[in-house]
Structure 1
Amino acid sequence: MQSACKLISDTNYIRRALIVFTLLAAVATQPAAGQSFVIKDLGALPGGDYSNALGINERGQVVGYSITAGGNTHATLFENGVVTDLGTLPGGSSSSAAAVNNRGQVVGYSSTARGNQHAFLFEHGVMTDLGTLPGGSFSAAAGINERGQVAGYSSNLRGYVHASLFENGVVTDLGTLPGGDESEALGINNRGQVVGYSSTASGYAHAFLFDHGVMTDLGTLPGQNFSHAQAINDRGQVVGVSSTSSGYVHAFLFERGVMTDLGTLPGRNYSNAFGIDNRGQVVGESDAGTSPYSPHAFLFAHGVMTDLGTLPGDNFSEAVGITGRGQIAGNATSHAILWTREK
């Protein structure tokens, strides 16, 4: 578990660090290169110079975080050209929003007055602490469905982090795969199916599907040892990332018991899938795996992976979520962005 989780942790850390410290060359609304999409810069909180999108709902509301004028990171809602600071839990200084459902309920995590990090639910202008597993000090929310069920993770009394379900004031431990000691839930659909990753007896992380009280190992791409599920649609299609025989990691689609390698953009080695809609369209990022790090967002549909391009003058983009109407939320080097299909 240590090596597998560290792989994703280090990858995300490097990616985010490079996003923060690379300057955006141009800010504009432009057509995506070669595509019938327009890319819109969603901006940042007043006085801040950085924002990041992490989720989108069918109403086109985008959530994530932005740097404030004071230099703190705050959970943020992007809607109709307005960037709204969702604040923090009482006494906290930082927060981040991870997902939003079609009722406008937002979930994520925030620091607290005690300096811990707790999962939150934001609705009707109020941020509510979702708590932790019994005896735990840490939690985070990663997904929410239309029933208000929240998937995420929490530390427990023994200090391990376990995938968790937050519902009606109760935090339920979803456990781990056999032999594992830690797990995280990263997505949930409207059927209440939860996906994420868990350590295994072998010490590597594997993607899981939790359904009707049972956590199932989704395995990896052929012959490999690591996978990580990140989103699930209402048809039960799961997307994420897995190690491959080439030594790189690739985006996958898991459906009807089979994990399929989605490949990469032409000339690139790495890909990662972050979102899927109910039509089976997948979004994520693909990169050459070289320095400097410069992935491009992709849309995978009908067996074809398409480069969604970047803002003018930029060399970075990633897509994190897609709606049934084809709106795609993602990020440029320093700002959250939105792709919208041209009419």
Structure 2
Amino acid sequence: MRRPASPAPGPWARTLLVSLLLSAGAVAATAAPLYTLVDLGSLTQAQVPVVRGPNSQGHAGGSGRPDGARDGGGRRGLVFDGGGLSAQQVEGLAGLDDPAVFGMNDSGAFVGSANAGSTVRAFAGSRTGGLRELPPLSGDNASVAFGINGPGEAVGFSSGASGERAVLWDASGRPGALPSVAGALGSRAHDISSRGDVAGAAVAAAGKLPVLWPRGLPALPLQLIPGDANGEASAVNGRGEAAGYTANAAGTIRHAALWAATGEVTSLGALPGGEFSEALGVNDAGAVVGTATGSAGVRAFLWTRAGGMQDLNSLVPPARMVLTKATGINNAGAIVALGHDPAAGAAGGHAQGDDDAHGHGPAQHSHGPVRVFLLRPVRP
């Protein structure tokens, strides 16, 4: 049996204790919860990095090429240890290469996809067991898995001559098509909650539309922010709330959105001086993380009902790094974020990496390595 993960080159993480401060000009700073900031490593821009997570243990998955790796080759599927150990490399199935991990549950089981010649195939695995293929629907020849829940159900899409169809694999790996969306030309499922609700998007003539598949019920089209014409739901929590974005007709300006389980939308706003925002993760408390533009460039954000949208960089003391994208938040409040050291060659403070199969994120203009961080809240 092949080992699914083996150590990949990478720096030992440095754990720093950071005090989160809220400030505005000359207004006195207000103390906020303490976080430990764990540096999970650096990834080169040569292979566009993808990072997803964290699960309840603080582990994350993704793909990329560790910065400083001496051997050749393309991207590697990676599992990041929340304790700061070097990332582990996920080995693909026979005949598959360039694996990427897109989702991980609290038990450490993960899903993703890898290239198979001229097509792509979904897989499932764990840090301690073997990998197995998640097949496409009958008649299709390609599949990608984006999310996995606690019971081991996975979601993604299957594609073939008839187009892309949102799919759910049961815990044994058997695929089944999710209910169709009226008028849609195709669909993708991006995330699945612990209770089996699924978030994703349908493709219509006018573009992508956000969709929620409540467990055992027909597809529920989600509302758009007024004035917008398309969008996607990227994540769903245990209460059936979904997070993602809606966008203008051209798809160039995105607005971060949070949907109730019944489909009503809440606009999460934007950072000062910016007009682009996109939500990428939501926990059961309704806290949302993502990426947004502002007067300082592209920045990672945290949104809560009490505090609204906040630049994560404004919540940490000055440091030689810029957090550009937060890709997930778990129920303990831990956040996975990507960033860079401006002195390492990043141009203009724009976002780095993580432009994966979802197509997420504003324009990428950074040239230095991408750094992966885990922000852990310290309880009083």
Is the pair's TM-score, using the shorter chain for normalization, greater than 0.5? yes
Give the AA of the match of 1:240: G
Deviates more, 1:235-244 or 1:258-267: 258-267
Aligned to 2:229: 181
Give the AA of the match of 1:279: A
Aligned to 1:296: 371
2:228 & 2:82 partners in 1: Cα distance? 45
1:216 to 248, 255, 266: 266
Gaps of 5+ in 2: 1-44, 51-62, 348-365
Aligned to 2:309: 259
Which aligned pairs between 1:159-174 and structure 2 lie closer than 5 A? 159-167=206-214, 168=216, 170-174=218-222
Aligned to 1:9: none
After superposition, the Cα gap between the structure-2 partners of 1:297 and 1:91, relative to the gap in structure 1 and judged at 3 Å, is same
TM-score in terms of structure 2 length: 0.67
Displacement of 1:221 in angstroms is 1.2
* 8 Å Cα contact 2:312-2:323 kept in structure 1: no
Displacement of 1:42 in angstroms is 1.8
- Structure with higher Rg: it is 2
| Partner deviation per Cα, 1:162-212 (whole Å, 9 max, x = no partner) | 100123251111021001100100010001111100025997211011114
Question: 2:48 aligned with 1:15, yes or no?
Answer: yes
Question: 2:107 aligned with 1:74, yes or no?
Answer: no
Q: CA RMSD in A?
A: 3.3
Question: 2:291 aligned with 1:241, yes or no?
Answer: yes
Deviates more, 1:269-278 or 1:178-187: 269-278
Displacement of 1:25 in angstroms is 3.1
Aligned length: 286
2:143 & 2:70 partners in 1: Cα distance? 27
After superposition, the Cα gap between the structure-2 partners of 1:131 and 1:159, relative to the gap in structure 1 and judged at 3 Å, is farther
Which aligned pairs between 1:1-343 and structure 2 lie closer than 5 A? 15=48, 19=64, 25=70, 36-68=84-116, 70-79=117-126, 80-114=128-162, 116-123=163-170, 124-156=172-204, 158-167=205-214, 168=216, 170-199=218-247, 204-211=253-260, 212-246=262-296, 248-255=297-304, 256-263=306-313, 266-269=319-322, 271-287=324-340, 288=342, 289-290=346-347, 292-302=367-377
Give the AA of the match of 2:373: F
Aligned to 1:8: none
TM-score in terms of structure 1 length: 0.74
Displacement of 1:43 in angstroms is 1.5
1:183 & 1:81 partners in 2: Cα distance? 37
After superposition, the Cα gap between the structure-2 partners of 1:24 and 1:141, relative to the gap in structure 1 and judged at 3 Å, is farther
How many percent of aligned residue pairs carry the same amino acid?
30
1:13 & 1:243 partners in 2: Cα distance? 24
1:122 & 1:136 partners in 2: Cα distance? 21
Give the AA of the match of 2:253: Y
Displacement of 1:213 in angstroms is 3.3
After superposition, the Cα gap between the structure-2 partners of 1:166 and 1:195, relative to the gap in structure 1 and judged at 3 Å, is same
